[in-house]
């Protein structure tokens, strides 16, 4: 599940929880909205933690050490 899907789930869940006043037999629309928001938040946190792990940069290579031989210089 990508970041867009997670944010979409949070948005749809918020709409169902706070902006809808439908009454359906056998289903609580507000509870479904809360569940969608929770799944979206969990998905977002999982996606960010995996994405963060993938995007870590290795440390830059150490500077090249050049040793000069001074035996033959005057």
In Å, what is the CA distance from 25 to each residue of 28, 38, 52? 8, 23, 43
Q: Considering the domain boundaries, does residue 58 fall inside one? A: no
Q: Considering the domain boundaries, does residue 33 fall inside one? A: yes
The total number of structural domains in the chain stands at: 1
Binned at pLDDT 50, 70 and 90, residue 64 comes out as confident
- pLDDT per residue as tens digits for the range 6-23: 999 999 999 999 998 888
Q: Considering the domain boundaries, does residue 12 fall inside one? A: yes
Threshold 0.75, pTM exceeds: no
pLDDT reported for residue 34: 95
Which residue would you say has higher pLDDT here, 56 or 35?
Answer: 35
Structural domain span for residue 20: 3-53
Q: Considering the domain boundaries, does residue 71 fall inside one? A: no
DSSP 1: -
**Average per-residue pLDDT for the chain:** 84
Q: Considering the domain boundaries, does residue 70 fall inside one? A: no
pLDDT reported for residue 57: 67
Q: Considering the domain boundaries, does residue 43 fall inside one? A: yes
């Amino acid at each position: 599940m990508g970041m867009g899907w997670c944010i979409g789930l949070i948005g749809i869940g918020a709409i169902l929880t706070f902006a809808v006043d439908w009454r359906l037999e056998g289903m609580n629309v507000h509870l479904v909205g809360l569940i969608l928001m929770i799944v979206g938040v969990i998905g977002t946190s999982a996606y960010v933690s995996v994405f963060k792990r993938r995007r870590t940069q290795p440390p830059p290579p150490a500077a090249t050490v050049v040793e000069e031989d001074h035996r033959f210089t005057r």
